[in-house]
Amino acid sequence: MNEAPPLSEASLLSAAPGPPRRDLVARGFRLEYATIAWMLIEAVIAIWSGLAAASVCLLAFGIDSVIELLSAGVLLWRLTAELRHGQAVGERVERTASRIGGALLLALAAYVVGAAGWRLWTRTGGEFSWPGLIVTALALPIMYWLARAKLAVASALNSGAMRADAMESVTCGWLSLVVVVGLVAQAATGAWWVDALASLGVVWFLVKEGREAWNAEACCCG
């Protein structure tokens, strides 16, 4: 009687069952709730400090947080629809919401360019803000952790929606870095033009995030 060949470690790992899909969706819910909680804090502090310091850079960061709040809410709806009605439900609304979010981000980018250009033309600048620096500095590790966790869930679910949301967290992390550098430079130099230039640095990330959201319907959302 022939013996069955021994299984390799790779075949054992590939054969091992992963978490049930409902458990993965539940993990996605927890990540989105964490995103919403942080984005609420981030948006309130950034917009408040941006208005108080007359900082275009911080104001843009705060408004971007509001748009990401909307994105997280849409994904929560998407996950709820999958749990209740199956995987295929909700893609049309998701695409529409992605386009709305993309349009808002592109409009925000246009506003930042206009506001920064006006500040440079009139030689006026914002003030340094400690609350703004603290919230943007905290956003760096938080966005890094959220992005990694979301990408892991997206890969396990084969979910384009979750993957797109994870990439928004990545973009938010880079955007936070730009704002932090701008605020530190402003504190170090006191130059009036630093806020306007840092704002223009934010524009690239807003346009990138907006285009990706607008073109999300071309992605496969599982």
Tell me the CA distances in angstroms from 122 to 186, 221, 222, one per residue in order: 18, 46, 50
The pLDDT assigned to 8 comes to 35
Q: What is the predicted pLDDT for the residue at 177?
A: 92
DSSP labels, 162-212: HHHHHHHHHHHHHHHHHHHHHHHHHHHH--TTHHHHHHHHHHHHHHHHHHH
- Mean pLDDT, residues 152-156: 89
> In degrees, to the nearest 5, what angle opens at C-alpha 40 toward C-alphas 125 and 150?
110
If one compares 30 and 214, the residue with the highest pLDDT of the two is 30
User: DSSP string covering 7-33, please?
Assistant: PPHHHHHHHS----HHHHHHHHHHHHH
Yes or no: say if 208 and 163 are a contact pair by the CB < 8 Å rule: no
Q: What is the pLDDT, as a whole number, of residue 158? A: 78
Tens digits of per-residue pLDDT, 36-65? 999 999 999 999 999 999 999 999 999 989
Percent of the chain at pLDDT > 90 equals 39
In this structure, of 32-36, 134-138, 142-146, 165-169, the range with the lowest mean pLDDT score is 165-169
Q: What is the pLDDT of residues 176-193, one digit of tens each?
A: 999 999 999 999 998 989
Give me the pLDDT at residue 47, please: 96
Average pLDDT, the chain: 81
Q: Each residue of 95-139: pLDDT tens digit?
A: 766 777 788 888 889 999 999 999 899 888 888 999 999 999 999
Name the maximum alpha-carbon separation found in the chain: 90
Identify the CATH assignment for 21-218 out of 3.30.1370, 2.40.50, 1.20.1510, 1.25.40: 1.20.1510
Model confidence at 142: pLDDT above 50: yes
Q: Give residues with Cβ within 8 angstroms of 56, minimum separation 6.
A: 50, 112, 115, 116, 119, 126, 195, 196, 199
How large is the average pLDDT for residues 69-74? 81
Top mean-pLDDT range of 14-28, 56-70, 81-95:
56-70
Mean pLDDT of all residues in 58-85: 81
Q: What is the pTM of this model?
A: 0.79
CA atoms within 13 Å, Cβ hemisphere of 132:
32
Q: For residues 72-87, give the mean pLDDT.
A: 71
**Considering the chain, what percentage of its residues have pLDDT values greater than 70?**
81
46 neighbors 136 (Cβ within 8 angstroms)? yes
